[in-house]
Structure 1
Amino acid sequence: MAEMTATDAKNKFGQVLEMAQAEPVAIQKNGRDVAYVVSAEQYHALVERGAAPKVRPAIERLMARSIERRRSLYKALAK
């Protein structure tokens, strides 16, 4: 991953955009990462991955059915 100071990123923004097409660019301020610049393609892949269900739908259905069947037990344990 490429790294660049915030000042350099400001002064060389076009270069940052070009670099981001190949790999994410970490923008640092006072020695800490404060932002990342990624290509549109990488961003959309991240969004898609985040929108995907974390648990398979079949597992979610089984869990919901289990909760419904054992609702009274869960309520008693919660007291």
Structure 2
Amino acid sequence: MAEMSATDAKNKFGQMLDMAQAEPVRIQKNGRDVAVVLSAEQYAALQASGGAPRVRPAIEELMSRSVKRRKSLYEALAK
């Protein structure tokens, strides 16, 4: 992934857009990541794939197992 400072992204906006056609461009401000610019095609593919890995269902499954296993503990803590 290409990187640019926020200042360079502002001053070289056209170049950043050209770079984003090939690969996502990470924008940094004060050494921290603040944005990622990607092409419309890359964005469409990301949207079609659901956007991000599905972590939440795995977390919910683990929580469900924990509640089943420690039901009495959770009930005692809720009082």
Unaligned runs of 5+ in 1: 55-73
Aligned to 1:31: 31
- Identity value in percent: 73
What do you get for the CA RMSD once the two structures are aligned?
A: 1.7
Write the deviation string for residues 34-60 of structure 1: whole angstroms up to 9, x where unpaired: 000000000000001117xx6xxxxxx
Runs of 4+ in 1 over 2 A off after TM superposition: none
Distance in 2 (CA, whole Å) between partners of 1:33 and 1:19 is 17
Aligned length: 56
TM-score (norm 2): 0.64
Aligned to 1:69: none
